[in-house]
Amino acid sequence: MNTQEQLIKEVTAKAEKWLSDAYDAETRAEVKRMLDAEDKTDLIESFYKDLEFGTGGLRGIMGAGSNRMNIYTVGAATQGLANYLKEAFADLPEISVVVGHDVRNNSRKFAEIVADIFSANGIKVYLFENFRPTPELSFAIRHLGCQSGVNITASHNPKEYNGYKAYWSDGAQIIAPHDVNIIDHVNRIKDVSEIKFNGDKSKITIIGEQMDKDFLAAIKTLSLDPEVIKRHSDIKIVYTPIHGTGVKLIPESLRNYGFTNIIHVPEQDVPSGDFPTVESPNPEVPSAMAMAIEKAKETGADVIFASDPDADRIGCVLRDKNGEYQLINGNQIVMILLNYIIVRNRELGRLQPNDYVVKTIVTTETIKAIADNNGVRMYDCYTGFKWIADVIRNLEGTARYLGGGEESYGFLAESFARDKDSVSAISLMAEIAAWAKDRGMDFLDMLQDIYLKNGFSHEVGISVVRKGKTGAEEIQQMMKDFRLNPPKTLGGEKVCLIKDYADLNMTDLRDGSVTKMDFPTTSNVLQFFTDGASKVSVRPSGTEPKIKFYIEVKAPMATKEDYDRANALAEQKIEAIKKDLGI
């Protein structure tokens, strides 16, 4: 029997167990269709492994099977989490959780099942009445004093995906030791009969409008210049939620800040898990912003903002002096926000010696320059806002958090929520647009000023998609090859430093020295630094079937007039680096 035949035999045996009466009729019918099909691709992809409850929860394609998002994989995750909560908080008279969800297909269904399972385990549940932004769930956990929370969302993934994010009592996504302990409890669920699906409605409280008000009131406190908004309250802001949850709160937050001229993209205000007007509901993707840009051209808007389906990521398009609209990337969004927060705090006399900012290791090093040049401490952490939240947790009460972000269009301006937040980020970006206009500037002017003061950098992110079982194996091999045969040069510059977060070794190729890096755990990330200050980071995605490359290069920029030339030089260097990497 060859390998393929053996695999088909194994997945068939596994799938046949899903034909029992323990599973609902719809699931049984779908599994039977896969078993009966001549082409076994769907069967293999649905059953070749169990959908893993990883350090961030679950994320996968919806459908029947052990490797799919469905009521049984969601149920097992929730039962395992409930079992661990009862162990971790055994001394509490009552354990409570918040459950939220986005606009995706099946999200409400999964959220209600999660609520039922928690309640059936004697846990009090606060269930949002309808879809809400992810950061509001994080806020609600802290605001209500809950021990945990679950959000049903697959963020900006394609429409066939859904996901399950687990949160701890501080409002952050779970990290050690809780992540490993929860995974252990989830893995102990061996049969659907162990999942308590029959909820106790007396344990479920519906929340919504009041939590919205409390969250928006907290976001309003982040405003650093309400007077400048009064002077420019009528700036034209185009906003699109790209069919997602942001439609609930972001226009209201902008009005709450004092902005009066919010221009909608009506077709994209319609909440839909099918995301009908875009190929990808991701503000990183230029095509997702196309309708908003058209609306801005029609109306002469000053700036365009977007949020992804669960409203934790922000997209931004600025209008230059020629009236052209330009997308700015995630690194630039973080730079603009942190620069404003630091500068404005200084103007107000609020900057303190123990203030700090946070960025992820794959985010631009220009942020470190901004922080250093303003006497503000900067911390590096792993990709993902759970790690930014970990820094906040560790410094709570001893230092003031000013803000933190990552290149993937995420920013957190507050500590009252502990996950990236486009509601507060867009509100502050609108304030920055007014602040710039008050000074006869626009976002591009501000960006150029930042580069002139802190050095020019240009960044690009490249994702190489490899789907399915063979794709996962190919990604593993690529990482292995980079470790065994690291590049000696990148874009004509000599590689002088390698950081491998899998073993936390930093190797200086100039003298051969190896030192240990101080990080809370290991991670499958490689970084190469050149003698020309270029940085290349390589990591497999934890949530999607892809391997990601983050390239950052420098170029000379002495005046604003050098900006276009610096970009052109940087792009040439990036193309050379891509060629060296074989991507």
Question: For residue 313, which of 186, 441, 424 has the smallest C-alpha distance?
Answer: 424
Q: Is 315 helix (H, G, I), strand (E, B) or coil?
A: strand
Collect all residues with Cβ–Cβ distance below 8 Å to 335 and sequence separation of at least 6.
364, 366, 367, 370, 447, 450
Contact between residue 557 and residue 566 where contact means Cβ atoms under 8 Å apart = yes
The token duo for 189 is: 């669920």
Q: Is 8 helix (H, G, I), strand (E, B) or coil?
A: helix
d(CA 329, CA 470): 32
The dihedrals phi and psi of 15, each to the nearest 5 degrees, come to -65, -35
Lookup result for tokens 């549940």 = 125
The token duo for 572 is: 């040439």
Q: How many helices (H) and strands (E) does the chain have?
A: 18, 23
Question: For residue 369, which of 408, 398, 401, 342 has the smallest C-alpha distance?
Answer: 342
What is the set of active-site residues?
Answer: 155
Cβ atoms within 10 A of the Cβ of 203, count? Answer: 18
Residue-wise DSSP of 342-396: HHHHHHTT---TTEEEEEETTS-THHHHHHHHTT-EEEEE-SSHHHHHHHHHHHT
d(CA 564, CA 258): 35
The token duo for 437 is: 């206009």
The token duo for 453 is: 């003061």
Length of the chain: 583
The dihedrals phi and psi of 189, each to the nearest 5 degrees, come to -75, 105
Helical residues (DSSP H) of 439-545, grouped into ranges: 443-454, 468-484
